[in-house]
């Protein structure tokens, strides 16, 4: 496949949406274990890009995988930071012309944001045996 036919969002998701969001969050108060968990979460998202061949792969990732990764991140990291990171990733993407002009991608992002709210609600209602208690 020639690079002329590839939707720019396929490579901008990580380079613009994810990396920019990561630079904007404050991770200075994280412990070494938390830093490792954050790096693991970021790596999972970055590596997913290797399997994207078209925009439908990105939409599927945003719709199906990203909310799962968000849920995993809630189990490992302070919830306010997780919310901030994932919301910034998706909101950064919404700024891109490739997203603004593609209702399928925009809908996937908006649905992922809604899905994350449900995941967060279940997390907050969940077991008190987890490592992190949600921030008040």
pLDDT tens sequence across 26-70: 999 999 999 999 999 999 999 999 999 999 999 999 999 999 999
Q: How many domains does one find in the chain?
A: 1
Q: Confirm whether 41 is domain-assigned.
A: yes
Domain with 70 in it:
8-132
DSSP 128: T
Q: Confirm whether 27 is domain-assigned.
A: yes
Q: Once rounded to an integer, what is the mean pLDDT over residues 73-85?
A: 95
Residue 2 has pLDDT above 50, yes or no: no
- Per the structure block, which two tokens stand in for 97? 């012309």
The model's pTM: 0.87
Q: Once rounded to an integer, what is the mean pLDDT over residues 94-121?
A: 95
Q: Confirm whether 1 is domain-assigned.
A: no
Q: Confirm whether 29 is domain-assigned.
A: yes
Q: Confirm whether 3 is domain-assigned.
A: no
């Amino acid at each position: 496949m020639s690079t002329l036919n590839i939707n720019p969002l396929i490579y901008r998701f990580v380079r613009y949406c994810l990396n920019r969001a990561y630079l904007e969050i404050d991770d200075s108060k994280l412990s070494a274990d938390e830093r490792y968990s954050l790096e693991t979460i970021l790596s999972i998202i970055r590596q997913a890009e290797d399997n994207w061949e078209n925009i439908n792969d990105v939409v599927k990732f945003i719709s199906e995988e990203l909310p799962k990764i968000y849920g995993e991140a809630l189990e490992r990291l302070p919830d306010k930071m997780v919310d901030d990171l994932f919301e910034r990733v998706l909101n950064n993407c919404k700024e891109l012309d490739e997203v603004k002009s593609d209702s399928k991608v925009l809908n996937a992002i908006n649905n992922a944001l809604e899905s994350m709210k449900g995941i967060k609600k279940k997390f907050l209602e969940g077991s008190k045996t987890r490592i992190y208690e949600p921030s008040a």
